[in-house]
Structure 1
Amino acid sequence: MRTFWDRTRYAVSFELIGLGIIMTAAWLFTDMPVSSFGITAIIMSLLATFWNALLSYGFDRYLTKQQGHTNKTAMQRVCYALGFEAGLIIITVPIIALVLEVTWLQAFLIDLGIITFFLFYAYGFSWAYDRIFPLPAAANNAA
């Protein structure tokens, strides 16, 4: 099992590298001001982190009440992921529309692009992180 500090390093590096990639892409491929997009990306990152913590807490409480533990089935993981993304869209689309001064449809499409990027980025980042910072052998054997 990873330590608190290892999880903190993971979360902070995940967000910082992801923000760097998103902001670079916005700078290269859009005519939006980098400062506006940067502010939006930082707000979205903070909201995603907060929403993830809140949803995780609520989901674990629900599972504990319903089944007496927090071990998740594949379907429960899918439900959690869909709930996370749906909640994040509801939270972030109005912010994107306001800060970037775009329509709600444009904000929704921007959000879908960001979500799609992070879907693949999360997989690649997690894979690379596990290679760079592997679990100790004892933890690998216990998992």
Structure 2
Amino acid sequence: MRTTKDRIRQAISFEVIGLLISTPLAAFVFGLDLGETGVLAAIGATMATLWNYIFNLMFDHGLKRFTGTTRKTLKLRFLHAISFEFGLMLAFLPVIAWWLDIGLLDALIVDIAFVVFYLVYAFVFTWCYDTVFPDNDAGPASTNQIR
């Protein structure tokens, strides 16, 4: 299992890199002010950082309990990324609507765009993170193995 320090490093680095990529991209795609998008992204990143820590802790405990290891196969990486983003999407939707002063349907479109971006990003980031900072409990071959 990862240590608390490692989980914090993972969550913070995930959000910082994600913010640096997603903020200007969202401002451009939706024609929004960079400042307005930046504040929304910071709110989302704060929510996501907390959710990242809680979700990954629960996911790893569940994985360890059911499989005996925290090693993630390709299927588990997809499940991990999708379930993380779905939970965050539900929490972030009303925040988007409120901050941008738009209806829930328009907010859902913005939220889905963030979800699509972060699904791909979460998958790539987590795989890279596991390769650079392997989880000792995951076994020696887990960082580069696809199953």
TM-score by length of 2: 0.68
Runs (5+) with no aligned partner, structure 2: 143-147
Write the letter of the residue equivalent to 2:37.
F
More RCO (CA 8 Å, sep 6+): 2
Query: Could you say if the C-alpha distance between residues 33 and 128 of structure 1 is closer, same or farther in structure 2, counting changes exceeding 3 Å?
Result: same
Query: Could you say if the C-alpha distance between residues 18 and 139 of structure 1 is closer, same or farther in structure 2, counting changes exceeding 3 Å?
Result: same
Deviation at 1:44, TM superposition (A): 1.4
Query: Could you say if the C-alpha distance between residues 52 and 123 of structure 1 is closer, same or farther in structure 2, counting changes exceeding 3 Å?
Result: closer
Deviation at 1:139, TM superposition (A): 6.5
Query: Could you say if the C-alpha distance between residues 81 and 10 of structure 1 is closer, same or farther in structure 2, counting changes exceeding 3 Å?
Result: closer
Name the larger-Rg structure. 1
- Aligned partners of 2:25 and 2:128: how far apart in 1? 21
Deviation at 1:5, TM superposition (A): 2.5
Percentage of matched positions with identical amino acids: 35
* Greater alpha carbon shift after TM alignment, 99-108 vs 14-23: 99-108
Q: Partner of 1:46 in structure 2?
A: 46
TM-score by length of 1: 0.69
Contact 1:60 1:70 (8 Å CA) reproduced: no
Query: Could you say if the C-alpha distance between residues 24 and 93 of structure 1 is closer, same or farther in structure 2, counting changes exceeding 3 Å?
Result: same
Q: Partner of 2:97 in structure 1?
A: 97
Runs (5+) with no aligned partner, structure 1: 64-68
Q: Partner of 1:66 in structure 2?
A: none
Q: Partner of 2:121 in structure 1?
A: 121
Please say if 1:135 is aligned against 2:137: no
- Aligned partners of 2:35 and 2:28: how far apart in 1? 13
RMSD: 3.8
